[in-house]
Structure 1
Amino acid sequence: MKSINIKQKLNAFKDHWHPHQIAVVDDMQILLAKIKDEFVWHLHESEDELFQVLKGTLYMQFRNKTVEVKEGEIIVVPKGIEHCPATRNGEEVHLMLIEKLSTSHTGNVRDTLTKTHYPKI
């Protein structure tokens, strides 16, 4: 057991839209990600997702509204809800995600941004 320095872990990678695993808690994984611009519209049929904004502002788009999630805030996207994370004005946003190990990166969609492996850092 040891502490995990989130700032150091975030400094260990630069890629946008490529989460990195920093811990596993039972059947849940803790991921860090850097995002910029718009992701892929998708949904997760069997898993909820938690997004915590560590830096910047996340715009979680849903088909009927967009929720602004500011630094220090979280949003939970329930299973089965189509969503598309985004940033605005070229801002790089840093996130912590908590999700089941079985959660597919882009859910029910395959795209050039889809990752099938999250590096452990």
Structure 2
Amino acid sequence: MTLGTPAVPAAASSINLAERLSRFSELWMPKKIADLNDYEVKITKLKGEFIWHTHEDTDELFIVISGLLTIQLRDGDVTLAPGELYVVPRGVEHCPRADEETAILLLEPAGVANTGDAGGERTAVLETLR
């Protein structure tokens, strides 16, 4: 048995975040761009205020690509600039807000709804961008 670097599929290529973001204009509608074990890597564009919600079973990772994101928490806000990230711990109620159009990357377990426990009309049907 030979140990070494696993073979890379012939069709493998990097993912350009700017190019993927240029493919859509909808706000608050995450798009899956990759899978990582049992996780989904998602991008989305935000503007305005979302809804207060929690994810009881998982943490939620936000990374700002462009713009400014405020993650409102019941005990104080966290504001993120491009290149910054924040992890909302499982079970913590939060409400993302972007006063200007903002692009973010999310990392969540597969199947997690963007509206968490709140559900409702703002729950996105996840589309994959390949």
Q: Deviations over 1:10-65 (max 9, x none)?
A: 00000000000000011011000000000010000001110000001100000111
Determine if the alignment matches structure 1 residue 25 to structure 2 residue 36. yes
Pairing partner for 1:98 from 79, 99, 107 = 107
In structure 1, the partner of 2:89 is 78
| Matching residue's letter, 1:93 | T
In structure 1, the partner of 2:119 is 110
Structure 1's unaligned 5+ residue stretches are: none
Q: Structure 1 stretches (4+) deviating beyond 4 angstroms?
A: none
In structure 2, the partner of 1:4 is 15
Structure 2's unaligned 5+ residue stretches are: 1-11
RMSD: 0.8
| Matching residue's letter, 2:61 | L
Q: TM-score, normalised by structure 2?
A: 0.88
* 1:28–1:98 Cα contact (<8 Å) kept: yes
| Matching residue's letter, 2:122 | L
Give secondary structure in 2 for the equivalent of 1:92: strand
